[in-house]
Amino acid sequence: MDAINGKLVDTISNSTIFDEQIKHDMCTFKSLARAFIGSPPVQHKMKHVLVSTMGTQNEPFSPFSQAREREPIVIDNLAKVSNFLDVSTQQRKVVRFKVCPQATQHRILIGTLKEVLNNFKVDLDALDSQGLDKDTIMGQQIVLTCLKFLTEAAVSNEPESNSWMRLSPSNNVNTSGSRKWEDVLEMFNDLIEYFRAETRLKLHVAKAEVMKEGLLQIKDILIDNSIGYKEARHQERLVQKKLSKTLGHSSRCLFTLLLYYLFGRVSDIEVDMAGGVYESVSDNKNWLCMGRILTSDSEKMIGRGVKQLDRALSLFKFVWETAEMKGHLDLQGHLWCVGEHNRVLRYRGNTYFLHGICL
C-alpha cells in the first residue's frame, strides 16, 4: 500500500483504503523512517553515496540532515512553491503573468473540472460495496450530469468539431434561457453539501470547494454552444480574461488549473520529505532535493514513487525557470524503501537515489 494524493491506496488493485487504523499505522511508520534517516550513520552513508556518484568536482552537501527537511509538505498553491524557492515579490508577479494565460484557457478549465468530477466518481463508486444511501445515489447522478454538461460545452474546442458550421442566432432570439457557468457552480455546491460530512470523500469535497473560487468569478458567462460559434468563442475568451484577472498568486484554484495544464492531474503535490535547495557556489548550480518513503521495494511501487517525485520536482523547476531565478536548478530525488539496497536510477534526465531501510 502507499499514500497517494492524500489517501491510502492498495497498489495492487489501485483501490482506495478507507481503514483509519491502517492510515494511522502508515503515519507511524513514516515518522519512524524520518527518525531513522536523520540518524548519524544513515546521514554519513548517504553523503558517501552522493560523493561517489556525483564526483569530487561537486561540493558535498547533506540533504535531509535538518529535521525540517525531513518533514512532509503539501503544495496546494504557487505561494508555497515561491516561499520554498525564495522567489521575490517582483518575480512572483512575473510567474503569475506568465502562468495565467496558459492555465486559464477554456479547454484547461473544462478538463480540470472533469478530472475533479472523475476523481469524485471513482471513490463514490468504491463505496458501492458498503451500501448506497440516498445522498450517494444523488451524488452519482450530479457527477454524471455535470460531466455530460461539460463534455457538451467542450465540443467547440475540438479540432475535428463541425461547430464552425453553426450559424449565429438571430438578434431576436431570446438567449435568457441559455446555459451559464452558474449551472456548473450550482452542481458543485450540491455535491459539497451532500458530502460535506462524509470523511471518506473529504479530499474531493475540498477540491470542489477550491474550484468554486473560479466558478464564482465566471458564473454569469454563457457556456451554451447553441449561441453560435463566434459568440461561443467570445464567451470562452471572457472566461480566460476573467480568471486571469481575478485568480491571484496564492489561489488554490489557479494552482489546480496549472497542475492540470502541466500534468493532466488535479491532486495537490505531496512529498514525504520536503528537502530543500542546496547551492554550489563554485559552478553557480543549485540542487533541489526531495524525498519519498515507501513500504516495499517492489518495482511497481518504486516506479510510482519516482513518478510522484518527478511531478513535484518538475513543478518546482517550472516555477524556478518561469521566475527567471539566478543559476541552474538540478533535480535530485531520494526514495527510502523497506528492504531496498542502494542504487541509482535515471528518469526523464534526473537522478533518483534508492536507499534501503533496514536495521
**Which residue, among 133, 111, 295, has the nearest Cα to 201 in the 3D structure?**
133
User: What counts of helices (H) and strands (E) characterise the chain?
Assistant: 11, 10
Burial class (CB in 10 A: 0-12, 13-18, 19+), 239: buried
β-bridge mates for residue 287, sequence order: 278, 330
The per-residue pLDDT for 262 is: 98
| C-beta atoms surrounding 2 within 10 Å | 20
Tell me the average pLDDT across 153-170: 51
**What global pTM score does this model have?**
0.90
Asked which of 16-20, 197-201, 254-258 is least confident by mean pLDDT, the reply is: 16-20
CA distance 323 to 99: 10
CA distance 188 to 13: 29
List strand residue ranges (DSSP E) for the chain, in order: 2-4, 7-9, 16-17, 73-75, 269-271, 273-280, 285-294, 328-338, 343-347, 350-357
Q: How far apart are the first and last CA of the chain?
A: 21
Is residue 358 scored above 90 in pLDDT?
Answer: no
Tell me the average pLDDT across 62-77: 95
Distance of CA 24 to the CA centre of its chain: 23
Distances (CA, A) of 142 to 111, 116, 124, 130, 146: 17, 13, 12, 20, 6
Give DSSP secondary structure letters for 302-343.
HHHHHHHHHHHHHHHHHHHHHTT-SSEEEEEEEEEEETPPPE
Q: Is the dihedral of CA 247, 249, 252, 255 positive or negative?
A: positive
pLDDT digits (tens, 9 = 90+) for 276-324: 999 876 667 899 999 999 988 889 899 999 999 999 999 999 999 999 9
The per-residue pLDDT for 57 is: 56
Q: Does 132 or 88 have the greater pLDDT score?
A: 88
Q: Does 231 or 91 have the greater pLDDT score?
A: 91
Is residue 82 scored above 70 in pLDDT?
Answer: yes
CA distance 214 to 188: 12
User: Are the C-beta atoms of residues 313 and 353 closer than 8 Å to each other?
Assistant: no
Going by pLDDT thresholds of 50, 70 and 90, the confidence category of residue 29 is: very high
The per-residue pLDDT for 126 is: 81
Is residue 56 scored above 60 in pLDDT?
Answer: no
**Which residue, among 85, 87, 140, has the nearest Cα to 117 in the 3D structure?**
140
User: Are the C-beta atoms of residues 306 and 347 closer than 8 Å to each other?
Assistant: yes
Please state, rounded to an integer, the average pLDDT across all residues of the chain.
87
Stated as kind and residue range, the H or E segment containing 190 is helix 181-195
Going by pLDDT thresholds of 50, 70 and 90, the confidence category of residue 341 is: confident
User: Are the C-beta atoms of residues 278 and 332 closer than 8 Å to each other?
Assistant: no
Burial class (CB in 10 A: 0-12, 13-18, 19+), 301: buried
* Nine-digit cell string for 155: 465540443
β-bridge mates for residue 3, sequence order: 8
- Using alpha carbons only, what angle is made at residue 330 by residues 324 and 333, rounded to the nearest 5 degrees? 130
pLDDT digits (tens, 9 = 90+) for 176-234: 557 899 999 999 999 999 999 888 899 999 999 999 999 999 999 988 767 777 888 89
Percent of the chain with pLDDT over 90: 61
* Nine-digit cell string for 340: 531496498
Tell me the average pLDDT across 240-265: 97
The per-residue pLDDT for 167 is: 43
